[in-house]
Amino acid sequence: MSATGSYVDDLTSQSFLEQLLTNRETIGDWMLWFWHGSDSWQQSMFFRLFLLILVEMLGVNRIWGERAHRRCLHHIEKDTRNPVKVPFMKTLRNYEPLLKHLPALRDLDLSYGDVVAGGGCQWRIMCTLAVAQYSPRATIYYDAMDETTRATVDAIGLDLAKHLSKVIGEDITLSPTSCSFRACILRYEGQRSEFPWHYDTEHPDCYRALFLFEKEGRIAPIEYVDRKGKVQTYHLEVADGWVFKGTRTLHRVPKTSDPNAKRYMLGFQFINEKTPEKVQAHVSICSMLRQATPAHIFWEFSPPFFLCWLVLLARRNCQMPDLI
């Protein structure tokens, strides 16, 4: 009996469960069924799910110890609201504890930022595929800051932690110096700068705080989904900010329309001061590729992408179900 003949026809004429229990006696049968395909969308989806579970169990398709397919799926679906996550957001209008630090922030020379940051957020096509921030100016994370910038933001962050602890009702401190999210400077400039809908990727115990310290032109607001599932819009002036849990709060920076817009944000990551070890730096896809060039990202992701493609796209002659 040929692999492409009546054997496959017999398999696809039965229910998927019957095939699974009676006809899948060898791995060879499974692979023949996979490669020669059928017209059943349901059968195809079940088999792809089986392969993804197998990949998960075997622990293959890893980059720096992290499951690459999980990271890819996270970026694909992270603009989707998860009703299980309860948002936490506190807005801080004209936040007085920050006002005294504004002169020091404005005196910082950030001209080195585009060189040391790698420019990942400056490549629009990569940002679109990854559902990530786009701006002609790179975000400067803590590990890429020069000594002057680090000293300045450390002093500000430690001071703000005392005040923000009262806002959230929990004693917090800055994340360890080994964590690149400890502090960052997000530089949105010009037309089309944006950060699409997303949840942050960090330990769920972490808090994020961001403050506007430099503004020119018509800048974009911050938008977030509240506990009732409604989109809230928060327009910003210098010294405005917010503290929130980004892992639980779906949020975005809409696309900027003003070519002269300049929106510089100072961001911090805080953690309960009793449990700083929860966010100790670890090697992951994000930590390794945050400052990477597009060529480096493509080189690292090609093998796992091919495996995902093999699992999800290689099956032929498969039609979508009739949804009507």
pLDDT digits (tens, 9 = 90+) for 286-305: 655 665 566 766 776 666 66
Question: Residue 5: is its pLDDT beyond 70?
Answer: no
Q: What is the mean pLDDT of residues 73-97?
A: 83
Hey, which residues does 207 pair with through a beta bridge? 270
Fill in the DSSP letter of residue 61.
S
Cα–Cα distance between 237 and 69 in angstroms, integer? 40
pLDDT in tens, 177-228: 888 889 999 999 998 899 988 888 788 889 999 999 999 999 999 999 999 9
Give the pLDDT of residue 145: 94
Higher per-residue pLDDT: 38 or 151: 151
Strand runs (DSSP E) across 142-226, as ranges? 172-174, 183-189, 195-198, 207-216, 222-225
Residue written as token pair 């900027």: 256
Higher per-residue pLDDT: 32 or 188: 188
Contacts of 222 (CB under 8 A, 6+ apart): 210, 233, 234, 236, 242, 251, 252, 253
Please name each of the domains of the chain with its CATH number.
Answer: 1-58 (no CATH), 82-282 (2.60.120.620)
Q: What is the mean pLDDT of residues 56-65?
A: 67
Contacts of 33 (CB under 8 A, 6+ apart): 8, 11, 12, 19, 24, 47
Fill in the DSSP letter of residue 3.
T
Mean pLDDT over all residues of the chain?
Answer: 77
Cα–Cα distance between 310 and 240 in angstroms, integer? 48
Out of 3-12, 39-48, 149-158, the most confident range is 149-158
Question: Residue 70: is its pLDDT beyond 50?
Answer: yes
Please, which pLDDT band fits residue 320 given cuts at 50, 70 and 90?
Answer: very low
Cα–Cα distance between 264 and 94 in angstroms, integer? 15
- Structure token pair of residue 39: 């017209």
Cα–Cα distance between 120 and 19 in angstroms, integer? 47
Q: Using the CB atoms, write b or e for 180-200: b if 16+ within 10 Å.
A: bbbbbbbbbbbeebbbbbbbb
Closest listed residue to residue 301, CA positions, set 281, 286, 283, 315: 286
Higher per-residue pLDDT: 149 or 4: 149
Give percent of the chain above pLDDT 90.
Answer: 42
Residue written as token pair 């805080």: 270
pLDDT in tens, 39-60: 454 555 666 677 777 777 776 6
Question: Residue 321: is its pLDDT beyond 60?
Answer: no
Q: How many residues does the chain have?
A: 324
Higher per-residue pLDDT: 320 or 130: 130
For 81, other C-beta atoms within 10 Å of its C-beta total 13
Closest listed residue to residue 81, CA positions, set 228, 225, 242: 225
Give percent of the chain above pLDDT 70.
Answer: 59
